[in-house]
């Protein structure tokens, strides 16, 4: 009798274990090919995600080089299918794994481009770059040069072959102080040292170093020409940009600028305002050993400047304007 009860307990335990063990044969799979709706070409490396009805991820995968995918171990019942790829609209659908159909073949799945998400992509360079041309070197001013100082004088000291005397403000190119400075290709009667302190660095778009000027500049005896090109917006519609900068070591230096323009068809109206507030300290001493005397000196340059520029362009065609 005891042997009978023992055998019955063993049989019931085995049955319970058999019923509690999951059956992997109940899981299903799906397969298909993802293609571009317009080009009708396969899209590789597309994300395929399977979620339950509570939006919890069950499994997933990606398409191969031919846009094909196979996702296995999908539990029986209803699930959600998400197919996602950058630049395309997400494809959502429900799938159902049943006893009679555990291997779903979805065929070709078309993804449509999401034009709205790609329409606003803007690539903008933020660092300075140097372009070598036949008779000049063009330096496009980026944020790294703007933050070097609030004025054009501070910016010039960070350009190759250019040196600005910190006390007098005199500028030299390749060691020669006989330099001509122009703004937007035009000469000015303002002294160079004063001009460079009046132009905020945020108002400068490019600096052209003309080391081999042509005869029209009457370059005899000159080491070169520095042409400072200021910002001027020419985008369609109403556009604007603003920037501020602050540096501090012993004295604070502040600069800022505002650019606005309105262009409609062949007309473009633009304006630029920039200012800087800075204090520059210069100090030192002169020692005379013949009479054992020393002379100390200290200079404080407290400068404030404002620059306003406005203009009107009329475009004759896509390449020429007045």
Q: Cβ contacts of residue 144 below 8 Å, gap of 6+?
A: 126, 127, 128
- Asked whether residue 14 is assigned to any structural domain, the reply reads no
Q: Are 274 and 257 in contact (CB under 8 A)?
A: yes
Q: Quickly state the pLDDT bin for 32 (edges 50, 70, 90).
A: very high
pLDDT value for 224: 80
58-72, 232-246, 259-273, 292-306: which range is least confident on average? 232-246
Residue finishing a domain among 208, 230, 252: 230
Residue range 286-291: mean pLDDT, rounded: 83
Has residue 27 got a pLDDT over 50? yes
Domain shared by 100 and 157, yes or no = no
What CATH number is associated with residue 218?
A: 2.170.130.10
pLDDT value for 147: 54
Domain shared by 223 and 267, yes or no = no
Has residue 269 got a pLDDT over 70? yes
Q: Of 52-66, 240-254, 270-284, 296-310, where does the model show the most confidence?
A: 52-66
**48, 104, 182, 213 from 94: Cα distances, Å:** 13, 12, 69, 72
Has residue 36 got a pLDDT over 80? yes
Domain shared by 165 and 243, yes or no = no
Residue range 186-197: mean pLDDT, rounded: 76
Domain shared by 99 and 166, yes or no = no
pLDDT value for 33: 92
Looking up tokens 């019942």 gives 77
Domain region containing 261: 237-314
* pTM, 2 dp: 0.41
pLDDT value for 26: 67
Domain shared by 225 and 243, yes or no = no
Looking up tokens 């571009």 gives 36
Domain shared by 199 and 184, yes or no = yes
pLDDT value for 70: 92
- Asked whether residue 12 is assigned to any structural domain, the reply reads no
Q: How does the average pLDDT of the chain come out, rounded?
A: 76
For the record, the structure tokens of 101 come out as 């159909």
pLDDT value for 128: 60
- Asked whether residue 16 is assigned to any structural domain, the reply reads no
- Asked whether residue 321 is assigned to any structural domain, the reply reads no
Closest CA to 268 of 309, 311, 229: 311
Has residue 303 got a pLDDT over 80? no
Helix, strand, coil shares, percent, the chain, to 5: 15, 50, 35
- Asked whether residue 23 is assigned to any structural domain, the reply reads no
Domain shared by 54 and 145, yes or no = no
Q: Of 73-77, 126-130, 279-283, 293-297, where does the model show the most confidence?
A: 73-77
Domain shared by 63 and 149, yes or no = no
CA atoms of 157 and 138, how far apart (whole Å):
16
What CATH number is associated with residue 104?
A: 2.60.40.10
- Asked whether residue 104 is assigned to any structural domain, the reply reads yes
Domain shared by 253 and 176, yes or no = no
Residue range 127-133: mean pLDDT, rounded: 71
Q: Quickly state the pLDDT bin for 22 (edges 50, 70, 90).
A: very low
- Asked whether residue 69 is assigned to any structural domain, the reply reads yes
Residue finishing a domain among 114, 143, 162: 114
Domain shared by 268 and 220, yes or no = no
Q: Where are the beta strands (DSSP E) in 170-292?
A: 171-173, 179-183, 186-187, 204-210, 224-230, 237-248, 252-264, 267-288
Residue range 232-245: mean pLDDT, rounded: 71
H and E: helices and strands count for the chain:
5, 19
More confident residue, 108 or 151: 108
Q: Quickly state the pLDDT bin for 15 (edges 50, 70, 90).
A: very low
For the record, the structure tokens of 31 come out as 């397969």
Residue finishing a domain among 70, 90, 114: 114
Has residue 108 got a pLDDT over 60? yes
- Asked whether residue 1 is assigned to any structural domain, the reply reads no
Domain shared by 209 and 138, yes or no = yes
Domain shared by 150 and 220, yes or no = yes
Please tell me whether residue 215 adopts helix, strand or coil conformation. Answer: helix
Q: Cβ contacts of residue 155 below 8 Å, gap of 6+?
A: 141, 145, 146, 148, 149, 201, 204, 207
- The rounded percent of the chain whose pLDDT value lies above 90 is 8
Has residue 130 got a pLDDT over 70? yes
The tally of domains found in the chain comes to: 3
């Amino acid at each position: 009798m005891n042997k009978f009860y023992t055998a019955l307990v063993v049989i019931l335990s085995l049955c319970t274990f058999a019923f509690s063990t999951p059956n992997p044969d109940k899981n299903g799979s799906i397969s298909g090919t993802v293609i571009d709706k317009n080009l009708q070409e396969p899209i590789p490396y597309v994300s395929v995600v399977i979620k339950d009805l509570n939006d919890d991820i069950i499994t997933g995968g990606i398409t191969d080089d031919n846009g094909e995918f196979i996702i296995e171990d999908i539990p029986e019942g209803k699930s959600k299918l998400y197919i996602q790829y950058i630049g395309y609209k997400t494809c959502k659908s429900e799938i159902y794994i049943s006893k009679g159909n555990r291997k779903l073949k979805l065929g070709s799945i078309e993804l449509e481009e999401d034009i709205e998400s790609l329409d606003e992509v803007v690539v903008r360079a933020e660092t300075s770059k140097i372009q070598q041309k036949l008779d000049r070197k063009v330096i496009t001013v980026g944020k790294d040069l703007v933050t070097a100082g609030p004025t054009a004088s501070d910016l010039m000291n960070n350009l190759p072959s250019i040196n600005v005397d910190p006390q007098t403000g005199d500028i030299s190119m390749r060691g020669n102080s006989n330099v001509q400075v122009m703004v937007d290709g035009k000469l000015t009667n303002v002294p160079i040292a004063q001009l460079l302190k009046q132009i905020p660095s945020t108002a400068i778009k490019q600096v052209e170093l003309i080391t081999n000027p042509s005869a029209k500049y009457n370059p005899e005896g000159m080491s070169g020409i520095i042409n400072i090109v200021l910002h001027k917006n020419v985008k369609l519609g109403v556009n604007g940009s603003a920037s501020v900068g602050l540096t501090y070591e012993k004295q604070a230096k502040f600069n800022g600028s505002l650019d606005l323009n309105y262009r409609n068809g062949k007309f473009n109206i633009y304006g630029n305002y920039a200012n800087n507030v800075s204090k520059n300290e210069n100090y030192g001493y002169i020692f005379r050993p013949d009479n054992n005397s020393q002379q100390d000196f200290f200079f404080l340059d407290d400068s404030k400047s404002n620059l306003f520029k406005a203009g009107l362009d009329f475009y004759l065609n896509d390449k020429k304007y007045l």
